[in-house]
Amino acid sequence: METVDDVLNNINGLLSTRANTATDELNLIREPIIGTYFYTQFRCIMSLIGLPKNAHQMPGQHEQLHLHSSCLPTNLHIDPREMKRLTANQLSCFLEKCETLLDFAWEYLNIGHWKSIKIDYRYFYGYICVAKIVLKLRQIYLLNEHCLNESETDDSDEDAIETEAQVKSNESLLPKGMDLESLQLLIKVADLACIMCPPIMNGIASEMASKLHQLIAPCYSLKWKTLSDDIKSRQRVLIKPIDSAKKIDSIYCPSLETFQQLLQLEKPCIITGAMDHWPAYNPQSNHHWSLEYILSRIGARTVAVEIGAKYTDSEWSQNLMTVDSFIDKHWVDGTGKGYIAQQELFQQCTELSHDFSIPDYCGLGRTIETDEEINSLGNIVINGWFGPWGTVSPLHFDPYDNLLAQVVGRKYIRLYSSSTEPGSVYPFSDYLLSNTSQVDVESVDVEKFPMFPSLPYLECCLEQGQMLYIPKGYWHYVKSLSISFSINFWWT
């Protein structure tokens, strides 16, 4: 089993190999925006964790910093190599500094519209999160070492040397000295860095979260074995059976040439057999996306969850919560009112992205006449959609071609052509919702929306293992009929 030292070395290894990538990012954080007082403390803490590597990136005065804090040694000279020499108490003082800096940044991250927030605060926040994790692990390591030393001098009463943390943790499952609560907290810190900040140092925060999560995975698999079979197997029935005249055609693993024709014709189609090789879908694989597997990978990860029956409802909101509390709070009563929807989940939880691959079809443009029209795989947006039975994505369209892959569970999907007269779909007038219809597809208010019922449409039940090609601009309504995990690939 990994020790705290192993984890710390691992993370320090990541930090030192990526230190060069920090240089430009740290330069984006401008002293006049942050203010000299907090900026100085920030550079001091960066220096403590060995960032940045190039001396010229940090003005000398900051390296020789004297931190003005009653709890710090007054003449503490910060040197990147110093961290190993700090005592647990000194680390506590630096951790307190981190808290203050995080609070300071948090205020700015939560004022006004997200797009208007200065990038300085976002990077500032992300780097402090990284530092906090490293310092905290070092502190845990020191406390642990201290306990071990004490036990060597006095082994008469083993119980007495147990720290509170050791008592709380399940020692057979976690590294010595670590408890579940501290690990969950550190994972949350890394996730907040992922959510609030661009992916600093090539996504180091996400890698830190996933390394820390590996340590608690055994606790999570155990916890979720108890999720009742009733909940796992609950299904929604279709309001009415699929009309065979409106059923979307299926095709088994079309060639690229055949798919190109579908693109050109803008013809929706269900593709079968194209994800049989994905570990996420293959029940024989140990990366198969069972609920236990997902929870052991990302149960303690903090993600954005949509709360409300659908995003067009007035009481709809978004909350940050861990995946396991999302299930605890929003699945057990089976209302389908929580949804991890349209999340760039795989950028944050990169370990899941190894369980599937981007379909080659997304490499095709609508024509193959010029090089510019052939899409490069770099332009693909991948979103995760994870939720219980009954989640609804109201009728809307997106400006991308889309392959919606159903990895777990099933969904009812209805499509209206992109050539549908927009007025007869009754989009919202608000600019932000102008791609979304006001109509409740499964219970149309005919008086308010008289033209809607006569519109032609296509429909299907997208089953596990199938992908649906939704042409750009097609209106689509999606409702989950069971616990469901889908991935969509958008490309232009």
Ligand X SMILES: O=C(O)CCC(=O)C(=O)O
Instruction: Report the nearest approach of ligand X to the CB of residue 396 (Å).
Output: 7
Establish whether the linkage from the previous residue to 388 is cis, with ω within 30° of 0: no
Parallel, antiparallel, or unpaired for β 466-470 and 475-480? unpaired
Amino acid in the structure at residue 104: F
Residues in contact with ligand X, shown as a per-residue x/- string from 178 to 217 under the rule CB under 6 A: ----------------------------------------
Instruction: Give the pair of three-digit tokens for residue 257.
Output: 């040439």
Nearer to ligand X, 101 or 392 (CB): 392
- Given a contact cutoff of 8 angstroms between Cβ atoms, the answer to whether 80 and 48 are in contact is yes
Out of 398, 440, 459, 463, the residue judged to bind ligand X by CB under 6 A: 398
Instruction: Report the nearest approach of ligand X to the CB of residue 304 (Å).
Output: 15
Nearer to ligand X, 343 or 488 (CB): 488
Instruction: Report the nearest approach of ligand X to the CB of residue 464 (Å).
Output: 14
Would you count residue 343 as binding ligand X (CB under 6 A)? no
Nearer to ligand X, 169 or 486 (CB): 486
258: CB partners within 8 A, 6+ apart? 251
Sort 94 into a burial class: Cβ within 10 Å, 0-12 / 13-18 / 19+.
buried
Instruction: Report the nearest approach of ligand X to the CB of residue 385 (Å).
Output: 4
Nearer to ligand X, 186 or 274 (CB): 274
Please list the alpha-helical segments (H only) found in 373-441: none
Instruction: Report the nearest approach of ligand X to the CB of residue 351 (Å).
Output: 22
Nearer to ligand X, 322 or 402 (CB): 402
Instruction: Report the nearest approach of ligand X to the CB of residue 54 (Å).
Output: 43
**Among the candidate windows 220-228, 291-299, 396-404, 433-441, which touches ligand X by CB under 6 A?**
396-404
Would you count residue 488 as binding ligand X (CB under 6 A)? yes
Looking up tokens 């499952």, which residue turns up?
A: 173
Would you count residue 464 as binding ligand X (CB under 6 A)? no
Nearer to ligand X, 97 or 476 (CB): 476
- Given a contact cutoff of 8 angstroms between Cβ atoms, the answer to whether 212 and 136 are in contact is no
Helix axes 88-109, 119-153, angle to 10 degrees: 160
Nearer to ligand X, 210 or 402 (CB): 402
Would you count residue 162 as binding ligand X (CB under 6 A)? no
Instruction: Report the nearest approach of ligand X to the CB of residue 341 (Å).
Output: 6
Number of residues that bind ligand X (CB under 6 A): 9
Instruction: Give the pair of three-digit tokens for residue 63.
Output: 């390296």
Cα pseudo-dihedral 140, 146, 150, 152, rounded to 10: 100
Nearer to ligand X, 49 or 478 (CB): 478
Out of 47, 184, 402, 466, the residue judged to bind ligand X by CB under 6 A: 402
- Given a contact cutoff of 8 angstroms between Cβ atoms, the answer to whether 299 and 324 are in contact is yes
Would you count residue 296 as binding ligand X (CB under 6 A)? no
Nearer to ligand X, 194 or 478 (CB): 478
Q: List C-alpha distances in Å: 403 to 12, 81, 260, 360, 381.
A: 39, 50, 13, 11, 11
Would you count residue 460 as binding ligand X (CB under 6 A)? no
Nearest Cα residue to 148 out of 138, 158, 134, 137: 158
Looking up tokens 């944050």, which residue turns up?
A: 348
Residues in contact with ligand X, shown as a per-residue x/- string from 468 to 487 under the rule CB under 6 A: --------x-x-------x-
Nearest Cα residue to 414 out of 268, 256, 293: 268
Separation between Cα atoms, residue 472 and residue 470, nearest integer Å: 7
Nearer to ligand X, 105 or 362 (CB): 362
Instruction: Report the nearest approach of ligand X to the CB of residue 362 (Å).
Output: 13
Residues in contact with ligand X, shown as a per-residue x/- string from 375 to 394 under the rule CB under 6 A: ----------x-------x-
**Among the candidate windows 54-62, 304-312, 354-362, 398-406, which touches ligand X by CB under 6 A?**
398-406
Nearest Cα residue to 143 out of 124, 120, 166, 127: 166
Nearer to ligand X, 34 or 413 (CB): 413
Instruction: Report the nearest approach of ligand X to the CB of residue 398 (Å).
Output: 5
Judged by DSSP in three states, 363 sits in helix
Nearer to ligand X, 219 or 392 (CB): 392
- Given a contact cutoff of 8 angstroms between Cβ atoms, the answer to whether 372 and 365 are in contact is no
Sort 372 into a burial class: Cβ within 10 Å, 0-12 / 13-18 / 19+.
exposed
Nearer to ligand X, 131 or 395 (CB): 395
Cα pseudo-dihedral 188, 193, 199, 205, rounded to 10: -50
Separation between Cα atoms, residue 357 and residue 280, nearest integer Å: 10
Helix axes 323-330, 291-298, angle to 10 degrees: 130
Separation between Cα atoms, residue 167 and residue 159, nearest integer Å: 9
Instruction: Report the nearest approach of ligand X to the CB of residue 488 (Å).
Output: 4
Instruction: Report the nearest approach of ligand X to the CB of residue 472 (Å).
Output: 11
Q: Give one DSSP letter per residue of 73-91, joined into a string.
A: -TT----GGGGGG--HHHH
> What residues make contact with ligand X under the rule CB under 6 A?
385, 393, 398, 402, 404, 476, 478, 486, 488
